[in-house]
């Protein structure tokens, strides 16, 4: 079931491309390392970067990549108060209600003391990504897959750990 969800997510995100064969589970810490190693100005929103803050502008493609590997998650969009202003942010949520787990691999872009003021879960069938956004997400996913393949050449049905 999980692999079927992943393949459906791939087809919805990157139409016309073949989904790669993947392991059933990628350890979240390993995925975080792969994602962080794959960020640059080409995956950042608007191509913007901040010295010393590699996570800046990486939240949306990161959330899409997390959703690819963890298709049971949804993407949340929220407003983050940084102490200087409010910024839009994206992350993943697994489950619902008080037991919901937030998975946020790009939170470190915000200064200490930042807080989410409000958020909503997005409908994965209605994301409406622009072509440049789709390309940023696809680029990040390709890089993450390459990173994982270098560390686990025989990606099989077993879990990948780095």
Domain boundaries, the chain: 2-151
Contact between 106 and 58 under an 8 Å Cβ cutoff? The reply is yes
Q: Could you read off the pLDDT of 58-95 as tens digits, one per residue? A: 999 999 999 999 999 999 999 999 999 999 999 999 99
Q: Could you read off the pLDDT of 88-131 as tens digits, one per residue? A: 999 999 999 889 999 999 999 999 999 999 999 999 989 999 99
**Residue 160 pLDDT more than 80?**
no
The two beta strands, 86-94 and 115-121, are unpaired
pLDDT on residue 157: 41
Single pTM value for the model: 0.85
pLDDT on residue 15: 58
Q: Could you read off the pLDDT of 141-153 as tens digits, one per residue? A: 999 999 998 887 5
Which of these, 42, 7, 47, 44, lies nearest to 24 by C-alpha position?
7
Q: Could you read off the pLDDT of 16-31 as tens digits, one per residue? A: 555 555 545 789 999 9
- Who wins on pLDDT, 162 or 100? 100
Contact between 70 and 95 under an 8 Å Cβ cutoff? The reply is no
């Amino acid at each position: 079931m999980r692999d079927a969800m992943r393949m459906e997510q791939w087809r919805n995100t990157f139409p016309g491309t073949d989904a790669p064969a993947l392991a059933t589970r990628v350890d979240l810490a390993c995925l975080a390392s792969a994602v962080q190693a794959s960020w640059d100005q080409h995956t950042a929103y608007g191509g913007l970067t901040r010295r010393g803050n590699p996570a800046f502008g990486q939240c949306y493609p990161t959330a899409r990549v997390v959703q690819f590997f963890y298709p049971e998650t949804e993407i949340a969009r929220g407003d983050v108060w940084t102490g200087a202003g409010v910024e839009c942010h994206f992350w993943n949520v697994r489950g619902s209600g008080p037991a919901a787990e937030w998975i946020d691999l790009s939170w470190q872009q915000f200064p200490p003391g930042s807080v989410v003021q409000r958020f909503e879960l997005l409908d994965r069938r209605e994301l409406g990504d622009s072509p440049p956004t789709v390309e940023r997400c696809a680029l990040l996913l390709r890089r993450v897959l390459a990173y994982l393949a270098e560390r686990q050449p025989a990606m099989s049905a077993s879990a990948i750990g780095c």
